[in-house]
Structure formats: C-alpha cells, structure tokens
C-alpha cells in the first residue's frame, strides 16, 4: 500500500498510457468478445433483458392507455388494408410463379436467395449520445457471427459488429460509422447510405455519391445494391425524403427515411446462412454483382429499372 | 472490501439502467450520462484515487458492451475521475452546488473529448452543431440528474464510511 502511495502519479500515468495503447490496438479488431467481457456479459445481459422487457411492458401499457380510442378506427382501416393486400399478394405470387418459370427457362441462379434467420430481442442501447448501437440477446450460442445482417420485416436495421457468448452488438445504419451500398429500385442509381450525426436523432440517414444526372426523386424506394460483402442485394433500406444537389454540382445526396422505425425496435431478425446450395450460390451472386455494376451504370441515363 | 462490492454493484446497476430504462427518458434525443455523474460524485466524495478507479471500471464496462475498442471509455473515465478528485478537498459535501457545477463543466470536457477523438476525424468539422445539439443539452440534463444521483451516492458513501469506522475501532481495541 505504501508503494502505491509513493508512486501514485506514476502508476496512473502508466495505466493511462496502457489504456490508450490498448484502445488503439483493439480498434477494429474487437469482433469477438474476450474472456472478461464474456464473463461480464453473462451476468449483465439477462438483467438488461429483464429490465428492458419490464420497461417495454410498462411503456406499452402507458401507450396502449392513450391509444385505446384510436384502436377501433385503426382496426377497421387495417382490415380494409389486409383485404387489399391479400388481393395484391395473390396477384404477386402469380408473378413469382411466372418469374420462377421464366428464370428456370433462362437457367439463372436465384437473385434473391432465401436466408435462414435467427430471431432476437433488443436488450440494451448505447448509453452515449454519439453513436447508435444496441445489444440483442442472441450471440455465438445461436450461431450469430460478426457482419451478419440485422433486419426487421420492413427493412434492414444494420449489421453485427461484435458477438459475445449470449449477446451481440448491432451497429444500426443510422450510426455515422455505418455505410451501406445502395440502389434506387426505380431508377437503378447507385449510392452509399451513410449514418449522419445531424440526422441520427430524427431517425434519418443520407444516401451519398448519387450521380448528378440521376432521376432519383422523393418517394423512391432504396434497396441494398449487392455491391457490398456484407449486405445481400434487394433488401429494403428506406424511402427518399429529399434530394439535394451537393455544393460542387457534380453529385447529389438524398435524405433517406428508413423503412424501419428506429425509435421502436424491440425484436429483430439476424440473417444467417443462405438456404440451399450456399457455395455455388455465393459464386454466382458474386459474378452477378460484378456484372450488375456496369449494367446499372449504363441504365442510369435511360432511367430504366434494375434487371 | 465492502466498499469495492458496493461500488461494483452501483456500477453494474448503472450500466443496466443506463442502457435500458434511461433510453426512455431522452429529451430531444439526448440521454443523461449517469456513468459520468457517478464517476464525478465518487471522485468528489473520495478523492483522486477512488475517482480514477471508479472511472476506470465504469469505462471498461462501457467498452465491453458498446465500445469499438477496449480502453477508450476506460481512459476517459479514469482521467475524468482523477482530475475531478482534485476538487475533493475544501468543499462541504452536503452542498449540492459544487457537484452540479463540476458535472456541468466536466460533461463539457468529456463530451468535447469524445468529439475531438472520434467524431472530428470522421470529417465532421461543425463543432457548433454538436455543441448545441448534443453537448449543451447533455450538460444541462446531467446537471439536473446530479442532484438525485449525488444524493444517493452521498448516502451510500456515508453508510460505508460509518461501517468502516466501526470496523477500525474494533481492530484498534483488540
């Protein structure tokens, strides 16, 4: 104890230097939680789960009290919508059949492979105000690996950045460190959807590097382009809210309203292995993405749709 | 030992609450940083060494779960606790003004350091935007929360100090 008292300052300086070094070394490498983190996670995550379940329940009760009046009207509306969608769905499934038949004829690999998904609950959010990451209650025990895509039924949420034994960390697409290669479904224009500090709290993000001559406009659906290693093609990201031309006049950026309501995520799906012949599928999809880049760029001017 | 366990429980409880319940009381998207308030309060109540230790462990916990590297928040927390502990001498513990003032200023420094080290280098140069939208609201929010948290930690600290005094007396008799 005496030793500590005499060299208190030196010890703290040494510790500080070690911590800084450690943070530099582990930056970007922290994909699998180490032993200590795992042990801590083992204790903390069940409690976090409990706590967020309880707060979610209480919040839901409070919300339901105030919303009860609107429910009846909403119910009617939804019923009408369900009928409409059912009809639409039938029509679309006919298209799918037809598509399958035609693709078989063309002997093309499936463009949108089916994925096996792992369900998980959101148990905690980043306590700070700078970043948008959260924890889910599925980890290595359920087969979650870093760089898997996390989504809700409406669209993508983000990707797994780190996995622990019974939890994983998800970086949402609103986080300023996230970037997703994206494409406008209507025009085929490519771009990159980035998180932005100034838009994060409003639940919006930016699509950057859009060609100035592209005809992208408000309301266009933005999907993942498949140029990235992480995100498979064709997953909905969101809808264009506003298109702005950059100061240099050469490129545009668009404000994107994600399809997912980021304020109220409680359960998510983690996309795992592709179903079926994964290896050959991967190869062909890789070839496809290579091919789709020039073709999508060529389509830009014509304003055609993506193949 | 009792002190270490008490502090560990406080820090774990804070991590759990801060990442779950507190998210629901965000005002204009800003959540109070209760971990920072705990570090500052303990540093004020107990001095540099304990402040730095509390900061180190609170930071490490945050690093494990939410950091992109190990050591970043731990370093920030330790530095904050160490410096704040220098104000330990020469103020009345029962007075709330000092912890509130310290929280106000320390939040500014803490969040500005985060801006400098991990936001600025990503090409976001408009400090004024972040000052007005994240840092200033958090300074105010933290300062208000200090009243409650300092009060709780003050009682916890007095209780442990009371126990420790009693223990020491026992030993001196024997």
Q: Are strands A190-194 and A236-245 parallel, antiparallel or unpaired?
A: unpaired
Domain membership of residue A82 (yes or no) is yes
Claim to verify: residue A125 and residue A269 sit in the same structural domain: yes
pLDDT in tens, B103-114: 999 999 999 998
Clarify whether residues A253 and A129 are in a common domain: yes
Vertex A25, ends A23 and A28: CA angle to 5°? 85
> Could you say which of A30, A123, A124 has the minimum Cβ distance to residue B69?
A30
Whether residue A264 lies inside any domain: the answer is: yes
Domain match, A72 and A51 both: yes
Ranked by mean pLDDT, which of A44-53, A196-205, B59-68, B146-155 comes out on top? B146-155
Q: What is the pLDDT of residue B76?
A: 92
Contact B18 A197 (CB under 8 A): no
Query: Measured between beta carbons, which residues in chain A are less than 8 angstroms from residue B138?
Result: 129
Residues of chain A with pLDDT under 50: 276-307
- CA–CA distance, B154 with A254 (Å, rounded to integer): 50
> Chain A residues with CB inside 8 Å of B33's CB?
127-129
CATH class of B2-169: mainly alpha
Task: Evaluate whether A163 touches A138 at the Cβ level (below 8 Å).
Answer: no
Q: Give me the pLDDT at residue A110, please.
A: 53
Q: In terms of domains, do A138 and A226 share one?
A: yes
> What are the chain A neighbours of B129 within 8 Å (beta carbons)?
197-198
Residue of B nearest to A25 (CA): B69
Q: Decide if A22 and B23 are in contact by the 8 Å CB cutoff.
A: no
A111 in a domain, yes or no?
no
Residue B71 with chain A: CB contacts under 8 Å: 18-23, 26
For residues A295 and A208, membership in a common domain is answered with: yes
- The pLDDT assigned to A297 comes to 41
What pLDDT sits at residue A292? 44
Same domain, A73 and A48: yes
Q: What rounded mean pLDDT belongs to chain B?
A: 86
Answer yes or no: is A262 within a domain.
Answer: yes
Suggest the residue from A7, A19, A43, A203 to mutate for an interface test with chain B (most B CBs closer than 10 A): A19
- Structural domain includes residue A22: no
* Segments making up each domain of chain B, as ranges: 2-169
Q: What is the pLDDT of residue A108?
A: 53
Would the CB atoms of A40 and B78 count as touching at under 8 Å?
no
Q: How confident is the model at residue B143 (pLDDT cuts 50, 70, 90)?
A: very high
- CA B96 to chain A, closest CA, distance in angstroms equals 25
Residue A130 lies in a domain: yes
SS3 readout for A61-110: HHHHHHHHHHHHHHHHHHHHHHHHHHHHHHHHHHHHHHHHHHHHHHCCCC
pLDDT in tens, A145-159: 888 899 887 888 999
Provide the residue range defining the domain that includes A248.
117-273+288-299
CB B88 within 8 A of CB B44: yes
Whole-number pLDDT of residue A279:
42
Report pLDDT for B43.
92
pLDDT, tens only, A17-32: 888 888 888 776 767 7
Same domain, A123 and A198: yes
pLDDT value, residue A112: 54
Distance from CA of B160 to the nearest CA of A (A): 21
Q: Report B:59-88 residues touching A (Cβ under 8 A).
A: 61-72, 74-75, 78-79, 82
**Within chain A, where are the H helices?**
2-6, 8-26, 35-106, 197-200, 278-302
Both A208 and A240 in a single domain?
yes
Closest to A135 in 3D by CA, of A44, A6, A55, A238: A44
What's the CA gap between A216 and B61, in Å, rounded? Answer: 44
Q: Does residue A209 share a domain with residue A142?
A: yes
**Does A168 share its domain with A294?**
yes
Please tell me the total count of domains within chain A: 2
Average pLDDT over residues B90-99: 82
pLDDT of residue A275: 55
Among A106, A140, A172, residue at a domain's last position: A106
B122 has pLDDT over 80: no
CB atoms within 10 A of CB A279: 8
Please give the residue that has the higher pLDDT: either B155 or A113: B155
**CA of A273 vs chain B CAs: smallest distance (Å):** 25
Tell me: do A125 and A98 sit in the same domain: no
Q: Write the ipTM.
A: 0.78
> Based on the domain organization, do A39 and A126 belong to the same domain?
no
> What b-and-e string marks burial along A206-222, b requiring 16 or more CB atoms within 10 Å of the CB?
bbbbbbeebbbeeebeb
A168, B64 Cβ separation under 8 angstroms: no
CATH code, domain with A257: 2.40.10.350
Indicate whether A18 belongs to any domain. no
Pick among A128, A135, A263 to test the B interface (most B CBs inside 10 A) = A128
In a domain, A97, yes or no: yes
């Amino acid at each position: 104890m005496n030793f500590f008292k005499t060299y208190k300052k030196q010890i703290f300086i040494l510790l500080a230097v070690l911590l800084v070094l450690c943070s530099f070394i582990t930056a970007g490498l922290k994909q699998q939680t180490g032993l200590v983190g795992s042990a801590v996670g083992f204790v903390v995550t069940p409690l976090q789960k409990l706590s967020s379940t309880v707060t979610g329940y209480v919040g839901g009760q409070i919300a339901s009290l105030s919303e009860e009046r609107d429910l009846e009207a909403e119910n009617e509306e939804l019923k009408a919508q369900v009928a409409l969608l059912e009809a639409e769905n039938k029509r679309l499934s006919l298209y799918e059949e037809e598509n399958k038949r035609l693709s078989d004829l063309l002997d093309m690999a499936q463009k949108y492979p089916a994925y096996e998904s792992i369900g998980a609950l959101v148990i905690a959010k980043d306590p700070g105000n700078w970043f948008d990451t959260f924890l889910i209650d599925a980890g290595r025990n359920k087969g979650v690996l870093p760089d898997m895509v996390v989504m809700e039924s409406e669209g993508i949420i983000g990707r797994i950045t780190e996995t622990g034994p019974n939890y994983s960390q998800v970086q949402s697409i609103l986080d300023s460190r996230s970037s997703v290669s994206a494409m406008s479904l209507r025009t085929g224009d490519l771009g990159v959807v980035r998180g932005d500090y100034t838009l994060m709290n409003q639940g919006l993000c930016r699509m950057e590097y859009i060609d100035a001559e592209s005809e992208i406009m408000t309301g266009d659906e933005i999907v993942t382009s498949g140029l990235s290693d992480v995100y498979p093609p064709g997953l909905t990201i969101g809808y264009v809210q506003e298109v702005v031309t950059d100061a240099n006049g050469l490129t545009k950026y668009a404000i994107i309203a994600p399809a997912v309501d980021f304020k109220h995520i409680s359960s998510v799906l983690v996309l795992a292995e592709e179903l079926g012949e994964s290896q050959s599928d991967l190869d062909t999809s890789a070839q496809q993405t290579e091919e789709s880049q020039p073709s999508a760029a060529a389509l830009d001017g014509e304003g055609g749709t993506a193949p | 030992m009792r002190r270490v366990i008490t502090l560990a429980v406080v820090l774990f409880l804070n991590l759990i609450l801060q990442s779950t319940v507190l998210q629901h009381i965000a005002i204009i998207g800003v959540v109070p940083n209760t971990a920072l308030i705990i570090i500052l309060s303990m540093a004020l109540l107990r001095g540099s060494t304990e402040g730095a230790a509390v900061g180190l462990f609170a930071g490490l916990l945050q690093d494990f779960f939410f950091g992109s590297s190990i050591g970043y928040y731990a370093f920030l927390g330790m530095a904050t606790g160490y410096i704040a502990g220098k104000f330990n001498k020469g103020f009345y513990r029962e007075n709330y003004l000092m912890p509130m003032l310290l929280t106000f200023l320390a939040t500014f420094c803490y969040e500005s350091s985060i801006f400098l080290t991990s936001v600025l280098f990503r090409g976001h140069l408009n400090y004024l935007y972040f000052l007005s939208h994240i840092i200033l609201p958090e300074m105010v929010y933290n300062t208000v929360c200090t009243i409650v948290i300092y009060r709780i930690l003050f009682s916890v600290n007095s209780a442990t100090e009371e126990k420790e005094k009693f223990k020491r007396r026992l030993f001196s008799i024997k």
